[in-house]
Amino acid sequence: AQSVSQHNHHVILSEAASLELGCNYSYGGTVNLFWYVQYPGQHLQLLLKYFSGDPLVKGIKGFEAEFIKSKFSFNLRKPSVQWSDTAEYFCAVNAAGNQFYFGTGTSLTVIP
Protein backbone atom coordinates (compact mmCIF):
# COMPACT_ATOMS: atom_id res chain seq x y z
CA ALA A 1 0.00 0.00 0.00
CA GLN A 2 1.06 3.54 -0.63
CA SER A 3 2.05 5.68 2.31
CA VAL A 4 2.91 9.27 3.02
CA SER A 5 5.17 10.18 5.91
CA GLN A 6 5.35 13.52 7.61
CA HIS A 7 8.05 13.21 10.20
CA ASN A 8 7.49 16.53 11.92
CA HIS A 9 4.36 16.23 13.99
CA HIS A 10 4.55 19.55 15.74
CA VAL A 11 6.79 22.46 14.85
CA ILE A 12 7.14 25.67 16.83
CA LEU A 13 8.88 28.65 15.26
CA SER A 14 9.31 32.32 15.94
CA GLU A 15 8.15 34.81 13.36
CA ALA A 16 10.64 35.37 10.53
CA ALA A 17 12.20 31.96 11.01
CA SER A 18 12.54 29.69 8.00
CA LEU A 19 10.31 26.66 7.64
CA GLU A 20 10.82 23.28 6.10
CA LEU A 21 8.32 20.48 6.57
CA GLY A 22 9.27 17.04 5.38
CA CYS A 23 7.12 14.76 3.26
CA ASN A 24 8.15 11.37 1.93
CA TYR A 25 6.02 8.92 0.02
CA SER A 26 6.31 5.32 -1.05
CA TYR A 27 5.40 4.82 -4.68
CA GLY A 28 7.75 4.17 -7.54
CA GLY A 29 5.65 5.40 -10.42
CA THR A 30 4.31 8.71 -11.58
CA VAL A 31 2.79 10.76 -8.80
CA ASN A 32 0.89 13.96 -8.31
CA LEU A 33 1.86 15.74 -5.11
CA PHE A 34 -0.01 18.21 -2.96
CA TRP A 35 0.26 20.25 0.17
CA TYR A 36 -2.94 21.24 1.93
CA VAL A 37 -3.31 23.61 4.84
CA GLN A 38 -6.00 23.86 7.49
CA TYR A 39 -6.07 27.13 9.39
CA PRO A 40 -7.78 27.09 12.79
CA GLY A 41 -11.52 26.80 12.34
CA GLN A 42 -11.32 26.62 8.56
CA HIS A 43 -11.59 23.99 5.86
CA LEU A 44 -8.68 22.20 4.30
CA GLN A 45 -7.44 24.17 1.33
CA LEU A 46 -4.84 23.63 -1.35
CA LEU A 47 -1.47 25.28 -0.76
CA LEU A 48 0.33 24.02 -3.85
CA LYS A 49 0.59 21.04 -6.18
CA TYR A 50 3.02 19.31 -8.49
CA PHE A 51 2.03 17.33 -11.57
CA SER A 52 5.01 17.60 -13.90
CA GLY A 53 7.67 19.99 -15.14
CA ASP A 54 9.72 22.22 -12.88
CA PRO A 55 10.19 20.30 -9.63
CA LEU A 56 10.17 23.53 -7.65
CA VAL A 57 6.59 24.69 -7.33
CA LYS A 58 5.32 27.86 -5.77
CA GLY A 59 2.06 28.17 -3.95
CA ILE A 60 0.04 30.73 -2.12
CA LYS A 61 1.32 32.93 0.70
CA GLY A 62 4.98 32.53 -0.19
CA PHE A 63 5.14 28.77 0.20
CA GLU A 64 7.08 26.55 -2.14
CA ALA A 65 7.87 22.86 -2.38
CA GLU A 66 10.51 20.86 -4.16
CA PHE A 67 9.91 17.45 -5.69
CA ILE A 68 13.01 15.27 -5.48
CA LYS A 69 12.17 12.07 -7.28
CA SER A 70 15.29 10.20 -6.18
CA LYS A 71 14.42 10.83 -2.55
CA PHE A 72 10.65 10.32 -2.92
CA SER A 73 10.26 13.65 -1.19
CA PHE A 74 8.16 16.77 -1.53
CA ASN A 75 9.23 19.09 1.25
CA LEU A 76 7.41 22.32 1.95
CA ARG A 77 9.38 25.50 2.57
CA LYS A 78 8.88 29.12 3.42
CA PRO A 79 11.79 31.50 3.98
CA SER A 80 10.12 33.62 6.65
CA VAL A 81 7.02 32.50 8.53
CA GLN A 82 4.34 34.74 9.96
CA TRP A 83 2.03 34.28 12.90
CA SER A 84 -0.80 33.79 10.41
CA ASP A 85 0.91 30.65 9.11
CA THR A 86 -0.09 28.84 12.29
CA ALA A 87 -2.05 25.87 10.95
CA GLU A 88 -2.05 22.15 10.24
CA TYR A 89 -0.23 21.13 7.07
CA PHE A 90 -0.94 17.94 5.16
CA CYS A 91 1.05 16.35 2.38
CA ALA A 92 -0.89 14.22 -0.10
CA VAL A 93 -0.02 11.94 -2.98
CA ASN A 94 -2.14 10.77 -5.87
CA ALA A 95 -0.76 7.83 -7.80
CA ALA A 96 -2.29 5.82 -10.61
CA GLY A 97 -5.92 6.16 -9.81
CA ASN A 98 -8.49 8.02 -7.87
CA GLN A 99 -7.14 7.60 -4.40
CA PHE A 100 -5.32 10.29 -2.53
CA TYR A 101 -3.00 9.32 0.30
CA PHE A 102 -2.54 11.88 3.04
CA GLY A 103 0.12 12.18 5.68
CA THR A 104 -0.77 12.51 9.34
CA GLY A 105 -0.19 16.24 9.26
CA THR A 106 2.21 18.69 10.86
CA SER A 107 0.97 21.23 13.33
CA LEU A 108 2.83 24.51 12.94
CA THR A 109 2.75 27.12 15.68
CA VAL A 110 4.35 30.48 14.96
CA ILE A 111 5.14 32.62 17.97
CA PRO A 112 4.89 36.37 17.42
**Positions that interact with another protein (CB under 8 A):** 4, 6, 32, 34, 36, 43-46, 49, 51, 90, 92, 94, 96-105
CB atoms within 10 A of CB 112: 7
Cα separation, 83 vs 50, whole angstroms = 26
Half-sphere exposure of 13 (CA within 13 A, CB side): 22
Number of H helices, E strands in the chain: 0, 12
Least gap, CB of 14 to another protein (angstroms): 26
* Residue closer to another protein, measured from CB, 92 or 110: 92
- Shortest CB 53 distance to another protein, Å: 14
Choice between 36 and 110, CB closer to another protein: 36
Strands 24-26 and 56-58 turn out to be unpaired
Shorter beta-carbon distance to another protein: residue 19 or 106:
106
User: From the CB of 46, what's the least distance to another protein, in Å?
Assistant: 5
For the CB of residue 70, give the shortest distance to another protein in the complex, in Å: 22
Half-sphere exposure of 59 (CA within 13 A, CB side): 21
